[in-house]
Amino acid sequence: MRRGRRTATLMPGQLQIFVSQKLPSFGKAEKCVKMALGGPRNYKPVSRQDLLYEEVVYSTIHQLNVSQTDASHLLGFLQQVFGKSPSEHLALVQRVREMAKPPVHMLKVTVFEATDLTPKNLDGSSNPYCTVGLALGADAERCNREFSSSESLLERLPDRTDTLLQTLNPVWDAVFHMRIDDVKTDVLTLCVWNEHNDSSLMQDISKISSWQGAKTLSKKVVKKLKRLSFTEGLIKPKQEADFLGLLNLPVRDLGAPYHAGTYRLLPRSSRSHVTGECRLHSAFLTCQRDSALSREGLERGAYEHLLNEFVEYEHSLTSGLWSGELGEDAMAVLSQHATQVDLSPLEQAIMWWFVYSDHHSSSPMLPDCLMQLLKSLEEKWTLSEQGRSRLLPDQGPRLQDSFAKLISQNLSALSELHANFPLTDPSSLPSLRDLLRFLIHLFGSPLYEKEPRQLGEPHGELQATVGTALEEASELWYNKKKEPFHALEGAQEQVLAYSRLCEIIWTELKENVPKYSHAFVSLVDVSFQSIWYQKMEKMLAWDVQTMLGQLSSSEDYRLDGETGEMLHIFHTSLHQLAQNAEKLGLRAKIPPLLNAQQWLGEAVSTWVGMAYENMSSSIQSSVQKDKLEAESCSVKHSLSAGLATSWFTNALAFWLQLAWPEPAQSLRMLDSLLQDLCNGAVFYVAQMRQKLENDYCYFSAETSIPLPKQVCTGLNSAAFVRESLSRLPQQREWREAERVVRDLWRDTGSDRYHSGSGSARTSGDALTSRLGVANQTILSLLDKLFNWISDLLLLDFRVYLQNSAKLQTVNTHDVALLLDFLRENISVLCQHLYEDTRNGLLQALWACSLRQFWEVVNVSQKHPLEYYGRLHQMLQVLLDVFYSDSQGLSLNSLKNAEYKSLENQLYLRKSNTLELIERYYQERAEEQQQAADSAGNGHGKLKTGCSYDDKSQMLTVDLTDALANAPSWANGGLPSLLCWPGKSSVKHYVKVLLCPRHIFPHAHPRRTQRKMHTSPIQFEESFKLNVTMEQARAPGACLVLRLKAQCGLHKGLLGEAVLGLRSVAGLEAPAPESLHSARSQLLLPLLRPKTQESDAVKFLQRRCSEKEGKQFLKKLRKAEKRILFSTEDL
């Protein structure tokens, strides 16, 4: 049995780094290579790759427990990696096998732990330890079969672990190194023992905690008694250990290059009772290696360079970003070499990190690969304190250098953000997020020292370094967008170019920058949006100042014309950009563009002064080019109207965006802009009126050319501009302007805002009044335009009326043609005009047509009645034309006072004497109805009831009493004419008449009985009058009730009430079953005859030659003379 070593004794020499492709500085290694190649004369320069190739071939050939087929396959793989020809490869393999000595093979065994061991102590625990060693197969069998005492086994397996007290699950984690003589016959033997403690019998008894403990104590006592009797107490016996189990593992069955497993403990005989398992790890190491690098102690460092070769080879087979995953063959070669040279997991992890981080610097890989390597390195660094002690002195600084270089490389990638992560590539943002996560992990790694070091640029906190890189990225983007400006020579071109640059910056800030910023905010807590914009504003401010300085120093610098306009456009773009950024909260506390108003103040003031000139020029051009075509069915105005109204909100928005810091100057600008807007709206309507009058004056009834649709579109456009100007106070910009004006006046400390004086012209009321003045001016222009169209449409109608007046006749056919032409044009207006514009034009047309009728009517009154009858009929047809089946004006609008007066005149002129008499009573009935609807009357009232029975054709009249309107009636005495104090002899009665006489020729007057003067005057009488339905519904048919007073032989008329029969119950609607219930009580005000105020009476007076009229007038004058005006009249 061979002894093993308790701890690892293969300490590596000083690791030398391969820094060149040739090896002239490796003295002894170079000399060995010369001798291997046949002496100094046959020596050729050997590269680092050749030495590395020899080293890895040596490791592959002398690997234990690997089949010849697997070894040949790995050698073929190495030939591909190193790019050797078959002859070179075979020569090297043959030389290694024949000339190089095989290495000494060692077995490295790590005993980790055992579990569920058999309890041997009295308290149910054990004090386990483990002995390990290598033995030949026969020796292992003999150990199993012959030896029954612990002393003999301890002598055969002297390497042991520490003893762990009172546990059944010991964790030793002990490492042993043993030389292998014959891999085919050697057996790894492991025994587990329980170590006894010297104690007294009483102490043992006190530890008994179970039946097993008692049994163990009895055996222990028996053994002590036998030992005492055998030695007679003269010699101290050897200490004996309890057997807990053993393992015999043939070395040929252990996996290469390393093997890990958990094995069940075996008994040494059939009588042994053993439980539990033991976990082991074995690896095949080599020493005394006969290769050029190993002879100089460089075999451990060769692992890093071998890994680098594999990484470059595998990456070359992949297109695009490589995941960093190596193939199975590469991993097998690396594993066997690391195991043979006894590289710890931490040492391997560090070398992997070095290789991959360096490779990533030249050939970028997926960030996830480095992230996984870093996590693995951190885990092994934390768990392996012993592995850290084996690191070479230069590996610590190299580790920090690798961190610094990776951070610098990633920050460099961020400084070219838009080029490395274009948004056109869908994978850019995920790649950016992976890079940021890797940076976060680098900065938070416990392996990275965060103090500033001289490794290029110093690195501080993560947010600061990322922010600096993003500023560089922003500056790079700005300079790239500004590159075309260098080719511009003219100042105007540069101004326009910077205006476009402002728009490009805003577009980028609105659309693309937030996509990047979301990644930085969510992962690094850095607002790329703020950094980007503030850098843009800083660089833009510098360039703007430089550009304006060069512009103002030029000899041909003038603010009028194109230069001033472009400066205004640039200021608008600049201010819009700053305002949008302000809303997003991206500007710095003291933004670089804070004084932009001062830089462009003169240009902006000049542009504001030229606003009306620019507006009028634009409006005039648009109106001249306007084809007067409606934009759509719902939008009936033309494009020029939309262009004109766009100045309204744009001008206010411009003033608001301007946010001029000087209050007085800002208010003057607003006042000037508002005046220009009003003048511009008036100018547009005037231009549209001029265009319509010049281009569309050919339509008439004679030519049968209807009103063109373009005229409707022009009217709609003018009305739309007026309406837009009127609605301006309802716009958000107007309300915002009013608020700003109030703030400006408050900031100036002036009280003129509330004074209403002329100096406070920009107050809210003054702004609205200025719009009102402009609105009235536009309405006046529209009225003139409506009148012009009305005159054109009714020109033929007017001529016809004048000619018919001369001829005293009306041709029905000609009238029909004129009205058809008018109806067609009104239909066009209803279809193509806005409602308000249509109503305004139709009202102008209606007023014009009524004026034309009046012109004819007022010329002479000696025309035949038939002529006036035709005119009256024409007026009724014209009313229907303008009503146009509810599409035109409403009847209430058409039947205005002017129409009613004209219709009354025509009706009176066409009426004969009897019709005039009927008209008189109609007027009296209407006057009676108006008096009844009005409150209060000084002539008293009659209380009566009236109903009609169509079956008996009887009109029933109930006279109740006479009442007064004033409250004093109930306290005695009649007010006004009914109040005659001291006239107790006065009697009253009511005379009942059916008028006019020619309708009721057989009706005789009726009267009530005379009643003495009381308060009220009670009559309580009823009359039945025979009235046919035809008579009752005749025009002017009415019931006249005259209240009269008599004192002796004197009689007088106190007043009369005229009730139209058409309003009596039973005539307009079927009479109810109970006539008495139908006779509802009526209070009829008493009226006085007024013949001088009646139009019908005036016409009757002109026809003195007609008998009926003369008699009727005589009776009216007689009744008028009998009216009592005071108590003395009797």
Annotate 689-733 with DSSP letters as a single string.
HHHHHHH----BTTTTB---HHHHHHHHHHHHHHHHHHTGGGSHH
For β-strands 954-963 and 128-135, DSSP reports them as unpaired
| Integer angstrom CA distances of residue 696 from 390, 622, 624, 719 | 105, 18, 14, 18
With vertex at residue 607, the alpha carbon angle to CA 603 and CA 609, rounded to the nearest 5 degrees, is 120
Does residue 28 lie within any of the structural domains? yes
Rounded Cα gap, residues 1065 and 1078, in angstroms? 7
Residue 1107 lies inside a defined structural domain of this protein: yes
CA distance 953 to 957: 13
Residues 922 and 905 both lie in one domain: no
Which residues does residue 263 pair with via DSSP β-bridges, in sequence order? 278
Q: Which CATH number fits the domain that encloses residue 735? A: 1.10.357
CB-based contacts of 577: which residues, under 8 Å, 6+ apart?
Answer: 502, 505, 506
How far apart are the C-alpha atoms of 955 and 953, rounded to whole Å?
A: 7
Q: Cβ distance 121 to 244 under 8 Å?
A: no
Enumerate long-range contacts of 446-449, CB under 8 Å, 24 or more apart. 446/378, 446/381, 446/382, 447/377, 447/378, 447/381, 447/399, 447/403, 448/400, 448/403, 449/400
Whole-model pTM over 0.85: no
Burial label for 464, CB within 10 Å (0-12, 13-18, 19+), is exposed
The C-alpha atoms of residue 271 and residue 235 are separated, in whole angstroms, by: 30
For 1050, the token pair is 């004197």
Report which of 1093, 1062, 1091, 1095 is spatially closest to residue 903, judged by C-alpha positions: 1095
The whole-angstrom separation of Cα 950 and Cα 1033 is 12
Which pairing describes strands 104-115 and 1038-1047: parallel, antiparallel, or unpaired? Answer: unpaired
* 3-state SS track over 225-282: HHHHHHHCCCCCCCCCCEEEEEEEEEHHHCCCCEEEEEEECECCCCCCCCCCEEEEEE
CA 288 → CA 31, 216, 677, distances in Å?
A: 18, 51, 101
pLDDT of the residue at 1081: 78
Question: What is the DSSP code string of 504-526?
Answer: HHHHHHHHTHHHHHHHHHHHH--
Residue 164 phi/psi, 5-degree rounding, is -110, 120
Task: Report the sign of the C-alpha dihedral through residues 385, 389, 395, 397, in that order.
Answer: positive
| Domain end call among 423, 445, 460 | 460
Strand partners, 1065: 947
Strand, helix or coil for residue 1101: helix
Q: What is the CATH number of the domain that holds 209?
A: 2.60.40.150
* 483 domain residue, yes or no: no
CATH of the domain at 803: 1.20.58.1100
| Predicted local confidence at residue 1022, as pLDDT | 92
Identify whether the C-beta of residue 896 lies closer than 8 Å to the C-beta of residue 1083.
no
Q: Are residues 953 and 1083 in the same domain?
A: yes
And the tokens for 925? 């009935």
User: What 3-state DSSP class applies to 240?
Assistant: coil
Find the domain containing 844 and state its range.
Answer: 794-910
Instruction: Evaluate whether 903 touches 919 at the Cβ level (below 8 Å).
Output: no
228, 38, 270: which is closest to 144 by C-alpha?
A: 270
Identify the pLDDT of residue 361. 81
What three-state secondary structure class fits 1024? strand
Query: Is position 349 within any domain?
Result: yes
CA–centroid distance for 882 within its chain:
51
Task: Determine the Cα–Cα distance for residues 297 and 1050; give it in Å rounded to an integer.
Answer: 163
| 617 and 595 fall within a common domain | no
Token pair of 377 as six digits: 């390195």
Q: Are residues 662 and 725 in the same domain?
A: yes
Q: Is 232 left (phi over 0), alpha (psi -120 to 50) or beta?
A: left
DSSP letters spanning 894-958? HS-HHHHHHHHHHHHHH--HHHHHHHHHHHHHHHHHHHHHSS--TT-EEEEEEEEETTTTEEEEE
**The predicted structure's pLDDT at residue 1023:** 92
Residues 6+ apart with CB under 8 A from 461: 443, 450
- Phi, psi dihedral angles at 700 (to 5 degrees): -165, 170
Strands 1017-1026, 1011-1012: pairing is unpaired
DSSP character at residue 99:
T
Residues 779 and 801 in one domain: no
Residues 429 and 300 both lie in one domain: no
Q: At what angle do helices 835-857 and 709-726 cross, to 10 degrees?
A: 110
Compute the CA torsion angle 1098, 1100, 1101, 1105 (nearest 10 deg).
Answer: 160
- Is 245 inside any structural domain? yes
On whether both 242 and 219 belong to a single domain, the answer is yes
Say how far residue 631 (Cα) sits from the centre of its chain.
Answer: 30
CA atoms of 448 and 429, how far apart (whole Å): 27
Count Cβ atoms below 10 Å from residue 595 Cβ, excluding itself: 13
Place of tokens 């890990």: 260
- Please write the tens of the pLDDT for every residue from 920-939: 888 888 888 888 777 655 57
State residue 291 phi and psi, 5-degree precision: -125, 160
Report the pLDDT value the prediction gives residue 644, as an integer from 0 to 100. Answer: 85
CB 117 within 8 A of CB 244: yes
In a domain, 540, yes or no: yes
Q: What's the CA gap between 968 and 47, in Å, rounded?
A: 141
Beta strand 954-963 pairing with 987-995: unpaired
Looking at the fold, whether 624 and 751 belong to one and the same domain comes out as yes
Strand stretches in 964-1037, DSSP E: 987-995, 1006-1007, 1011-1012, 1017-1026
Q: Are residues 757 and 664 part of one domain?
A: yes
On whether the CB atoms of residues 1091 and 1119 are closer than 8 A, the answer is: no
Point out which residues pair with 1012 in neighbouring strands.
987
Q: For residue 509, give both structure tokens.
A: 């800030």
**Separation of alpha carbons 29 and 428, rounded Å:** 49
Kindly state whether residue 881 falls inside one of the protein's structural domains.
Answer: yes
Q: What three-state secondary structure class fits 176?
A: strand
**DSSP β-bridge partners for residue 1018:** 961
User: Where does 462-580 show beta strands of DSSP type E?
Assistant: none
Nearest-angstrom CA–CA distance, 834 and 822: 19
- What does residue 965 show for φ and ψ, rounded to 5 degrees? -80, -30
**Looking at the 3D structure of the chain, how many domains does it have?**
7
Distance from C-alpha of 782 to C-alpha of 771, rounded to nearest angstrom: 16
Residue 470 domain-assigned? Answer: no
Among 609, 625, 658, give the residue marking a domain's end.
609
Task: Answer yes or no: do 937 and 892 share one domain.
Answer: no
Kindly give the parts of the chain with pLDDT less than 50.
1-45, 145-155, 228-238, 452-460, 701, 751-762, 964-982, 1071-1078, 1126-1130
Same domain, 538 and 679: no
Instruction: Determine the length of the chain.
Output: 1130
Residue that terminates a domain, selected from 577, 609, 641: 609
Give the span between the Cα atoms of 301 and 308, in whole angstroms: 12
Looking at residue 973, its pLDDT comes to: 39
Secondary structure in 3-state letters for 801-867? HHHHHHHCCCCHHHHHHHHHHHHHHHHHHHHHCCHHHHHHHHHHHHHHHHHHHHHHHCCCCCCCHHH
Within this chain, do residues 1036 and 1084 fall inside the same structural domain, yes or no?
yes
